[in-house]
Amino acid sequence: MAPRPAVAAFDLDGTLTEGGSVFRWLRTLCGTARTYRAAALLAGPLLIGALRSGVAADRAKERLWRRLLAGRDLAEVSEASRAFALDLVAQRGRPRTLARLAWHRERGDDVVVVSASPELYVAVVAEQLGAQGALGTRLAVDPLGRLTGGYLGRNCRGAEKLHRLEEWIDQRGYDEPPTIFAYGNSRGDRRLLRRATYAYDVGRLGRLGALRSFARLPDQDETPTADE
Residue 15 has pLDDT above 80, yes or no: yes
SS3 147: strand
Facing residues of 137 across strands?
118
pLDDT in tens, 36-89: 998 898 877 777 767 666 777 788 888 999 999 999 999 999 999 999 999 999
Number of H helices, E strands in the chain: 9, 7
Lowest mean pLDDT: which of 28-32, 42-46, 100-104, 142-146? 42-46
DSSP state of 104: H
Residue 1 pLDDT? 62
- For the stretch 123-164, pLDDT in tens is 999 999 999 999 999 999 999 999 999 999 999 988 999 999
Residue type, 26: L
Contacts of 226 (CB under 8 A, 6+ apart): none
Q: What is the pTM of this model?
A: 0.86
> Per this entry, what is the length of the chain?
228
How many CB atoms lie under 10 A from the CB of residue 53?
16
Cα–Cα nearest to 72, from 134, 30, 103, 31: 30
Q: Using the predicted structure, report yes or no on whether residue 221 has a pLDDT greater than 70.
A: no
For residues 148 and 153, give the distance between their C-alpha atoms in angstroms, rounded to a whole number: 13
CATH superfamily of this structure's domain 6-209: HAD superfamily/HAD-like (3.40.50.1000)
pLDDT for 185-220, tens place per residue? 887 888 999 999 998 888 754 332 333 444 444 444
Question: What pLDDT is recorded for position 51?
Answer: 63
What is the torsion angle, in degrees rounded to the nearest 10, for the CA atoms of residue 119, residue 4, residue 159 and residue 100? -60
Q: What is the DSSP string of 11-31?
A: -SBTTTBSS--HHHHHHHHH-
| 113 or 57, which is more confident | 113
The DSSP string of 34-62 is HHHHHHHHTHHHHHHHHHH-HHHHHHHHH
Distance between CA atoms of residues 77 and 146, nearest Å: 9
- Can you tell me the distance from the alpha carbon of 116 to that of 101, in angstroms, rounded to the nearest whole number? 19
